[in-house]
């Protein structure tokens, strides 16, 4: 008797015996969890690479190297360069193209800043890619799981409508089936929320570093143009 109850209340058995709608909810949550873990690992390594590339370029830039040499290195390694290096490349290319005798320094610097800002926006879009998916999974999954739970409990009690005397043994399997949907919703949501908060903080810190660099680099170029 006890063995039969254990088998009936196993997770696999409960999922298999759940209603079709609850099974679809569980399947959706499972897919959301798998995709979120895929993006979590992918975003983790991409942000680690972005931080490393930013550190390396800042070290090379502030070591006093020649700007022309840094620009040529950025152009030659364009496919392997980091976000900050591409921002530098776009700004210096625009500055070199417009810096001519007689050109207004203010206009040259405005164009240089616009070029860097446009590249900055593209790089930030790449760094923020898939963060909205993690945010959506983290905020929506618990409610989707709760919907599956409510539907499962409704079915469990509807099945008792024609029963003269309901017992806990009759209600327990249906409620257990329904609660698995809530558990799966939390399983999908919690890692997504933690990862989103971590990655959003990393992206914000990189954005601050990029903006500070653009301001400092603009000041350097303006001093060169005025010399």
Q: Note whether 182 and 200 are within 8 A (CB).
A: no
- 170-191 mean pLDDT: 83
* Distance in angstroms (rounded) separating the CA atoms of residues 139 and 116: 35
- 85-105 mean pLDDT: 87
Q: Is the pLDDT of residue 4 over 50?
A: no
pLDDT tier, 222 (very low <50, low <70, confident <90, very high otherwise): confident
Pick the more confident residue, 53 or 80: 53
Mean pLDDT of the chain: 85
Q: List, in order, residues 6 or more apart from 70 with CB less than 8 Å away.
A: 60, 61, 88, 92
Per-residue model confidence as pLDDT tens digits over 112-145? 999 999 999 999 999 999 999 999 999 999 999 9
Where in the chain are the domains?
11-226
* pLDDT at residue 98, as a whole number: 84
């Amino acid at each position: 008797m006890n063995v039969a109850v254990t088998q009936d209340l196993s997770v696999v058995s409960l999922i298999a015996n759940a209603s079709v709608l609850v099974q679809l909810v569980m399947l959706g949550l499972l897919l959301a969890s798998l995709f979120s873990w895929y993006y979590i690992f992918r975003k983790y390594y991409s942000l680690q690479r972005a931080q490393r590339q930013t550190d390396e370029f800042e070290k090379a830039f502030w070591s006093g190297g020649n700007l022309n040499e840094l620009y040529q290195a950025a152009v030659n390694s364009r496919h392997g360069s980091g976000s900050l290096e591409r921002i530098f490349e776009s700004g210096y290319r625009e500055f070199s193209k417009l810096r001519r005798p007689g050109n207004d320094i203010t206009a040259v610097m405005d164009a240089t800043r616009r070029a860097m800002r446009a590249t900055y926006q593209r790089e930030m879009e790449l760094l923020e890619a898939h963060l909205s998916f993690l945010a959506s999974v983290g905020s929506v999954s618990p409610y989707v799981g709760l919907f599956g739970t409510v539907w499962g409990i409704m079915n469990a009690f509807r099945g008792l409508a024609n029963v003269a005397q309901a017992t806990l043994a009759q209600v327990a399997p249906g409620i257990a089936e329904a609660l698995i949907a809530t558990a799966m919703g939390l399983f999908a949501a919690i890692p997504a929320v933690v990862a989103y908060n971590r990655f959003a903080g990393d992206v914000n810190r990189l954005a601050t570093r990029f903006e500070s660099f653009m301001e400092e680099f603009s000041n350097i170029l303006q001093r060169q143009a005025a010399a």
